[in-house]
A and B are shown apart, each in its own frame.
Chain A
């Protein structure tokens, strides 16, 4: 099905099941420990072996030699595969850093060997016996020091401009010119990367933890130099990803190579201390923002420049993306510059671009509002735009940022925010409120599905879509149920298997809308097949409801319609030019209240509210969970998350969950989420948009602005730890 004109009325609009607060259909499995994740596949007749990774102890250089004698002779060892022994392997399309193969070391903890043994304990012990001789080279690890070497990237759209920024900024009566920094961050999902690989002749099956089944399948085949048709990927449950499981990772490659060598299925999980340096991270940024405005608060000039680093062949963190679209202003420019760094690969983490970009922009907006003497909600409202400000002929498909800000301000009690920073006190706490807009683009990606109807009237959906905690199982079941007029418990959903039609996968908050649109397309085909089989030729009056299909005064159960052989239909949604003619984005507003301990500078969240305008909400329970989870990650970004770079040796020092501090229960208050009731007919037949990343964008800045409101201390370098506040706090009496 091609989607190139705005959606009109369709069966989803009935909203009998879609849009309803239906509990996760995989909930009982997950809460009872019965959902099977990658490392947990178990066939009692299979003698699994255990693989353990060896990582590079240098950040840059070459492997001179690897001595595996002791490791090979250790108890229980079945195979040792080394990066120099295996030779050069072709790099997959989506990776920047090489995962394995050859003698070049591009980053610390790069995989350089895998040891397979009878047991996990034996493999781990033997891995520690692998001796490596390196030729270490000098690397570049410090973004601030490398900033001047940064260049304009070749790909993408690093620069943009409209009007004459310099002239307008020069003459603006009120101006801001500030620099902000965001640190490297880690996805830190709870399930470490893990794979089990099993060969059968030249065919390979890998149970893994992947957000994008087809990308993994393609890149694993490329890396191993085998035909894609010979690779079977399974990933029905994923213990979180946030972007770090978008692209093939070393665990799958090592498991496949070790299994081939050991002639046994091999399981490999990355140990937690490997995650930060072996995989990808959100790159640090340095961002300069300049805003000029007239005295009444209208922005006349806005510029956003960002510097980030990556390995050769990598790309920039696109932190200026939102500034091209979020606020009005005739004269504008953005630019991104990329430095070469020898740190581990920088790549997508939840809301790449907007998450760190909004961390900076939304502080700048708060600062500018203060200079103008305007309420920050009001300042944002004044500068709303209904068109792409760089290309005013391009309207937004639907945009209600102002509705989010106004609704939020009212619900949160924004009017009680003290106008003078540092003036509200509650015992030992300095109390403040902050706001940040939320903004993230809505992406749409082709997505396929197969739908079966059996003689019991049960509908089965098959697609290689993944559920990374987002609720895909549930919203896909809802979509099929709505389309075919059956209750959710008559729908079975099978995901994450490369034998199924290729879906959008999960990433960039495109999965929910795109994958359900693919299921919609397949269901339209199945409806046609049912009608045709029954000889219902007038498509317009065919109704699917209550487990029946009706036309005129004929009514037949779906079970009967399916018959003994059942019916099956497959289709794929493809998206036309609507994303070019109209800008599709999602909007929101975050409101937070913090207390800052007047003696220690410790910040505690007191209240949090998000208001989101993101098209049709397919399931308010799972959508709300996406948003509260994102708000939580935003608190981490604001207050604690920081991959600390060892600038001499070139690695992230705090590479585990004790030292890389993500929010815990005690850090998070009750969170409220409001969804504005809206649809976006330009996005898909579902009229839905993304929500999972929107919820993150702007949270950290709202916290930063609340801290400023509480203390009068403006911190522009994340995370806002107490050392950055303490010297500005009022004297203790």
Chain B
């Protein structure tokens, strides 16, 4: 047992501390903190594979992977919801792992292999996850949807690879595909339309088919 005193942090102290953190994170000066280098428009050549196709681009070093896809390759299936790593709309797969494309610079991915929503399937030839989202109406406006789908495909791989999450009880046992695990692991993908209940059903169906 802990000695009394060491953990004597009252509920109230805890709340004051976390409230202060929130205020700092929202300070307006942060909005422009990354934009103060006007001359630095130096370009770099980068080559990577997107949806199986090898591409070479000359990009401004400040260009995010997200903007490289959307503004330079016209792969606009990957969405920009916040550009700050807060929403998941920009989720793509890089070397098989899901990543927020807005939080990484394109030039960091020399030699990388990127899969976007367009690479998963097309109308008429949908990936099983895309088809399950249609079947379960796992979206409304559709803006978070490519990110949800890319994220869920990679997320099931993470469970198969036995990577634990915050809600995994037993770290020694194989990770399970439960609704709680899916919800926890998908919580980086916001859906303001609120399709969560249907998205979990879509993912569960695909997971069941897989296993």
Contacts and interface: CB of A to CB of B under 8 A. Distances in A.
Contact of A663 (B76, B118, B133, B194): B194
B81 A191 contact: yes
A468 interface: yes
Interface in A647-661: 651, 653-659
Interface in B163-207: 179, 182-184, 186-200
A240 interface: yes
B157 interface: no
B48 interface: no
Interface string A714-726: 0000000011001
A668 B26 contact: no
B140 A629 contact: yes
Contact of B11 (A33, A469, A671, A726): A726
Contacts of A33: 75-78, 116-118, 146
B86 interface: yes
A160 interface: no
A632 B140 CA distance: 13
Contacts of A398: none
B12 to A, nearest CB: 8
Contacts of B77: 32-34
A37 interface: yes
Interface of A is mostly: loop
A272 interface: yes
Interface stretch (B1-9, B28-36, B93-101): B28-36
Contacts of B28: 57, 273, 651, 653, 655
A657 B84 CA distance: 9
Interface string A620-645: 01101110111111000000000010
A40 interface: yes
B161 interface: no
B15 A723 contact: yes
Nearest to A660: B26
Nearest to A21: B137
A607 to B, nearest CB: 11
Contacts of A629: 140, 193-195
Interface of B: 11-12, 15, 19, 22-23, 25-28, 30-32, 35-41, 60, 62-63, 67, 70-71, 74-84, 86-87, 89, 116-118, 120-124, 126, 130-131, 133-135, 137, 139-146, 149, 179, 182-184, 186-200
Given A23-B134, A663-B194, A122 B143 contact: no
Contact of B140 (A32, A469, A654, A657): A469
Contacts of B15: 722-723, 726
Closest 6 CB pairs of A and B: A33-B77, A632-B194, A239-B143, A469-B140, A469-B141, A30-B142
Contacts of B198: 625, 628
Contact of B123 (A32, A40, A125, A630): A32
Contact of B187 (A24, A119, A666): A666
B38 A31 contact: no
A391 interface: no
B141 A190 contact: yes
Most buried by A among B83, B189, B193: B193
Given A42-B74, A120-B67, A625-B137, 11 more contacts: A24-B137, A37-B79, A119-B41, A121-B60, A124-B35, A188-B192, A190-B87, A190-B144, A662-B190, A665-B186, A670-B179
Given A30-B145, A32-B121, A657-B86, A128 B192 contact: no
A668 B140 contact: no
Contacts of B41: 75-76, 119, 121-122, 125
B199 A40 contact: no
A723 B22 CA distance: 14
A30 B139 contact: yes
B78 A240 contact: no
Interface in A436-471: 468-471
A628 B137 CA distance: 11
B50 to A, nearest CB: 13
A128 B34 CA distance: 10
Nearest to B67: A120
A120 B195 CA distance: 32
Nearest to B21: A659
Interface of A: 23-24, 26-37, 39-40, 42, 57, 70, 74-76, 119-122, 124-129, 187-192, 237-240, 242, 269, 271-273, 468-471, 600-601, 621-622, 624-626, 628-633, 644, 651, 653-659, 662-666, 668-671, 722-723, 726-727
Contact of A238 (B27, B141, B195): B141
Nearest to B122: A32
A240 B118 contact: no
A26 B142 contact: yes
Given A469-B193, A664-B190, A655 B81 contact: no
A628 B123 contact: no
20 contacts: A24-B137, A30-B142, A32-B120, A33-B76, A37-B79, A120-B67, A125-B36, A187-B192, A190-B79, A192-B81, A240-B141, A622-B137, A629-B194, A632-B191, A633-B194, A644-B23, A655-B28, A657-B86, A663-B194, A668-B194
Contacts of B126: 28, 31-32
B154 to A, nearest CB: 15
Contacts of B183: 665-666, 668
B38 to A, nearest CB: 4
Contact of A191 (B78, B79, B122, B191): B79
A563 to B, nearest CB: 31
Nearest to A118: B41
Most buried by B among A269, A653, A665: A665
Contact of A189 (B120, B192, B197, B199): B192
A170 to B, nearest CB: 41
Contacts of B200: 665, 670
Contact of A40 (B70, B139, B142, B191): B70
Most buried by B among A34, A626, A655: A34
Contacts of B118: 32-34
A421 to B, nearest CB: 20
B190 A42 contact: no
Most buried by A among B35, B38, B74, B79: B38
Given A75-B38, A670-B179, A189 B137 contact: no
B137 A624 contact: yes
A198 to B, nearest CB: 17
B74 A239 contact: no
Contacts of A655: 26, 28
A37 B89 CA distance: 13
